[in-house]
Chain A
Amino acid sequence: MTICEIFSYLHLLVENKTVKEDRYQHISDNTLLERFYTDNDNQWLGILLQRYTMLLLGVCMKYLKNEDDARDGVQQVFLKAIAALHKYKVAYFKSWIYMVAKNHCLMKLRDRHGKSPVTLNEQTLVVEDEPVSVEAHLDKDRMLDAMTIAIEDLSAEQKQCVTLFYLEMQSYNQIAQVTGFSMMQVKSYIQNGKRNLKIAVGQIVKENE
């Protein structure tokens, strides 16, 4: 065996971990969960949870506003998730783990502020939308009609940002340059515009039924 071969072998050994992770990339969250429920092997939980490490770190950072607390938060969320998954079945993992993380952060904030309550408004308690939309109830033409009416009812800023983003496929940055709004404003106009559109379309659909 030449030295070169030995080195490449060693390199492979070091890389083995990442190769191993990539090997599971094509497996869906649900399949991983099913495998865990079948053989109770924690390995599957490890693969599943680490898919969300970066997102969880971001969520904890958003609420706890401190890097050390955020890292600690992710570890706690992992522990809570592992304990819970051993006890009961979870159907839609991505929104479930998001909810676990959010609840954990809110609890931490409550502890931090002593007894002064953190406002638990509707938005903080809402679980992320399951991938089901109003579209299921309507055919495309009727949907388009409803959207055309609803988009006209948005505020001028929301309408402008929503149109540039969804129809002209521009990035936040491009929209900010064109409109003169800040990136944060663009983001919130798009998000609120989308929310308003959803509500308006829902109402139009109800009226038509």
Chain B
Amino acid sequence: MNKDLLNILSNSSKDIGNQQLMDYLAGKLSEEEKHEVEMQLTASDFVSDAVEGLENISNKQEINVFVKQLNSDLHKKLSQKKTRKQKRKLLQQRWVFAAIILILALVIATLLMIVKYQQL
């Protein structure tokens, strides 16, 4: 019996690339390349669900537009979070500075008072 039988049970660890996926959906691949993608479809429910869904998007060109838009939104959101965090840090630092100055002022004032009392 053919040793390729064992391939049936192995889960492919190979990841499918976006371009390969788009070419598959657009029917641009050779039969051999199609088979390669389909091997990954049968090995992964994630990829299989995704292809089923993407096939339902009528205008395939839109997929790339959607993906680009979603990625740029994602990066915007992540950098917003970063700046918010940085702002919070800065704000916290400001409070620390204010506290230090206040304590220093108090110390100096006490010292001055002690010196004044000693002079009396």
Pick from A2-10, A52-60, A112-120 the stretch touching chain B. A52-60
Bound-state CA distance A159–B52 (Å) is 23
Main secondary structure of the interface of B (DSSP, over half): helix
A170 within 8 A of B: yes
Instruction: Report whether A198 and B31 are in contact in the complex, using a CB–CB cutoff of 8 Å.
Output: no
A169 within 8 A of B: yes
Bound-state CA distance A166–B41 (Å) is 13
**From residue B74, how far is it (CB to closest CB) to chain A in Å?**
5
Give the number of residues in A that approach B within 8 Å (Cβ atoms): 61
Contact with B along A103-128 (1 / 0, CB 8 A): 00000000000000000000000101
Q: Which residues of A contact B34 (CB under 8 A)?
A: 171-173
Bound-state CA distance A37–B13 (Å) is 24
Instruction: Report whether B4 and A166 are in contact in the complex, using a CB–CB cutoff of 8 Å.
Output: yes
From known contacts A147-B8, A167-B4, A173-B31, infer whether A55 and B47 are also in contact, taking CB-CB under 8 Å. yes
Main secondary structure of the interface of A (DSSP, over half): helix
Contact with B along A169-189 (1 / 0, CB 8 A): 111111000000000000100
Contact of B21 among A54, A63, A95 (CB under 8 A): A54
Bound-state CA distance A167–B35 (Å) is 11
A208 within 8 A of B: no
A153 within 8 A of B: no
**From residue A77, how far is it (CB to closest CB) to chain B in Å?**
10
**Residues 28-85 of A at the B interface (beta carbon under 8 Å):** 42-43, 45-46, 49-50, 53-63, 65, 67, 70-71, 74-75, 78-79, 82
Q: Which residues of B contact A70 (CB under 8 A)?
A: 53
Q: Which residues of B contact A102 (CB under 8 A)?
A: 49
Where the two chains meet, the residues of B that have a C-beta atom closer than 8 Å to any C-beta of A are 1-11, 13, 16, 18, 21-22, 31-32, 34-35, 38, 41-42, 44-54, 56-57, 62-63, 66-67, 69-71, 73-75, 77-79, 81-82
Q: Could you show 29 A-B contacts with beta carbons less than 8 Å apart?
A: A45-B78, A46-B78, A49-B74, A54-B21, A54-B67, A57-B54, A58-B51, A58-B52, A62-B52, A63-B53, A67-B62, A74-B70, A75-B70, A78-B77, A128-B44, A128-B46, A143-B9, A144-B6, A148-B1, A165-B42, A166-B4, A166-B8, A170-B31, A172-B34, A172-B38, A173-B31, A191-B42, A194-B8, A194-B9
